[in-house]
Structure 1
Amino acid sequence: MGLLKYKGYTGSVDYSEEDNCLYGKVLGMSKDAITYEGQDVNELRKDFEEAIDDYLRFCETKNKEPRVPYSGNLNIRITPEIHSRIAMMAMQAGTTINGFIRDTLANAVGITKPINI
């Protein structure tokens, strides 16, 4: 799957054999579906960018804060044993559980700079 990026939003690129066109949707927007399509990549990109601009204008006219694809908040469920081990490792590292998890995940996805939130 290809990806398009514009103004902090990321969109998918898919092909419909049945309709003989490219199409996609903005990723991470579970409550506000933003879709687009085109006959070629240039047309798809143009429709993607126009869809984002239309969404942002709509939000502005409704005095509504636009949704962002990923808020930075992530709730996970883990076993008590994992929770306990993470707490101990965080304490040994001299950080909080959130800081430990954030740094561990950043390292896992290849972000090596310290993250300040």
Structure 2
Amino acid sequence: MSQMTYKGYTARIEFDDRDDLFVGRLLGVHDIVSFHADSVGGLHHALQEAVEDYLADCAARGVEPEKPASGKIMLRIRPEVHAAAAIAAKASGKSLNQWAESVFERAARRRAGG
């Protein structure tokens, strides 16, 4: 599995060996936005077209397109984990938000394979 991004929207890409196609689906939006192509170049074009179609459809319906993320996150964690994170942040010279962002970013990159 791979990922591609266009205009802040990320798509999961898989290869369908039955149909010999790359298949993609946008992540982080409730609407089903999918696309496919038989080449990598075609896949880039198909992703762009799918996102543009999604945005145009939202505009036509008068609804705000979903954003993959707002930049705000609310977590409920055990108090001892919260305290340990606050200490780790202070020890690294960062605010808890800055520290948590760097931890999330490293974890997400490892998960995405990059």
Larger Rg: 1
Q: Which runs of 4+ in 1 moved over 6 A?
A: none
Asked if 1:11 is matched to 2:11, the reply is yes
TM-score, normalised to structure 1, is: 0.72
TM-score, normalised to structure 2, is: 0.73
Which structure 2 residue ranges, 5 or more long, are not aligned?
Answer: 107-114
Q: CA separation in 2, counterparts of 1:33 and 1:72?
A: 22
Q: CA separation in 2, counterparts of 1:41 and 1:85?
A: 44
Deviations 1:62-104, CA, capped at 9 Å, x for gaps: 11111011122223221132235556x49x78xxxxx51x211
Q: CA separation in 1, counterparts of 2:43 and 2:85?
A: 44
Matched length: 101
Per-residue deviation at 1:59?
0.8
State the identity %.
32
Tell me the equivalent position of 1:70: 69
Which structure 1 residue ranges, 5 or more long, are not aligned?
Answer: 94-98, 111-117
Bigger RCO of structures 1 and 2 (CA < 8 A, at least 6 apart): 2
Q: CA separation in 2, counterparts of 1:66 and 1:25?
A: 16
Tell me the equivalent position of 1:51: 50
Q: CA separation in 2, counterparts of 1:55 and 1:41?
A: 21
Q: CA separation in 1, counterparts of 2:55 and 2:46?
A: 14
User: Aligned AA for 2:23?
Assistant: Y
Q: Secondary structure at 1:76's aligned position in 2?
A: coil
Tell me the equivalent position of 1:38: 37
- CA RMSD, 1 decimal: 2.3
Asked if 1:106 is matched to 2:101, the reply is yes
